[in-house]
Amino acid sequence: MNPSEKKHFTFDQIPDLTGKVAIVTGGNAGIGYIACRELARKNAHVFLLGRSIERGQAAVENIKSETGNHDVEFLHLNLKSLNSVKECAENFLARNLPLHILINNAVSHQSNTFSLTEDGIQEEFGVNHVGHFLLTKSLLPKIKASQPARIVNVSSRAHKYVENVIEFEKLNDPNAQDSMQRYALSKLANILFTNELNKRYLEGEQIYATSLHPGVVDTKLVRRNDLSLSETLVSSLISTEDGAITTLYCATSPEIEEKNYRGRYFEPFGIEGEKSSFAKDDDLAKKFWEFSENLINEKLSQK
């Protein structure tokens, strides 16, 4: 981005969030951490969710120190384990607090190594989609009771790289897709989940579910040697701070409610983007939803 280009949304446009409760997955680093910090700076009660207890608690203390807001807490969440997702949701619900903002941000990045979650689900799909699907559904009654509310699913422009019709039965076949396609499919799932969530549960409610591409954020993960980034892509990298802007736009901007943005997809910096043809397919969204529900029920019944 050209430094002189005006952003549609900036941190100083986040309204006061006193009395609001927010959950952010993957909040101990990267854009998740920035999102937690800026929500706390605007007086929200923030729950930072992550797999590493040590890093998560350190992040909480840093945010308290940076913002002066002491209503920042850590909850353990391992998205590679459906039981952990259930326990995390139960631990939050036991607090008997409202929930106004849910940001599904944690990401299993593209990897050349094929691996499975603890439940035997292909990892990118399991972490990026299935875990967040279960977490959101588990918290949805609380979100409905707390409306107006937001659900924000951090997807990626990579969803546009899905090339073929999705064969669900081959999800766990290590030879069915390369690493880019596995990651792209998981990010497509984030958008399809957002679409179908709006249709099934949120019509007529003051709950605004959106998805987004945060931008290609300059991190060590992005610059890994095995990803072989083009010079064009490297030149378009944005800072972690800028990477959090679109997430926070979807989570806090009054525009979302004023313009009744539901099931929309946004790109930096708070500008509506164009979804791929797969991401606009209502039948595919329905199939994804039913496949995800059946998969979760099957895995949890085996425990």
Catalogue the active-site residues: 183, 187
Alpha carbon dihedral 47, 98, 299, 159, in 10-degree steps, equals: -70
In three-state form (DSSP H/G/I as H, E/B as E, the rest C), the secondary structure along 265-284 is EEECCCEECCCCCHHHCHHH
DSSP string, 229-246: --HHHHHT-B-HHHHTHH
- DSSP assignment letter at 6: P
Tokens of 149: 């509310």
Contacts of 107 (CB under 8 A, 6+ apart): 26, 127, 128, 154
Q: Is 134 exposed, middle or buried (0-12, 13-18, 19+ CB in 10 A)?
A: buried
Distance CA 35, CA 247 (A): 7
Distance CA 236, CA 224 (A): 16
Which residue in 215, 226, 222 sits closest to 271, CA to CA?
Answer: 215
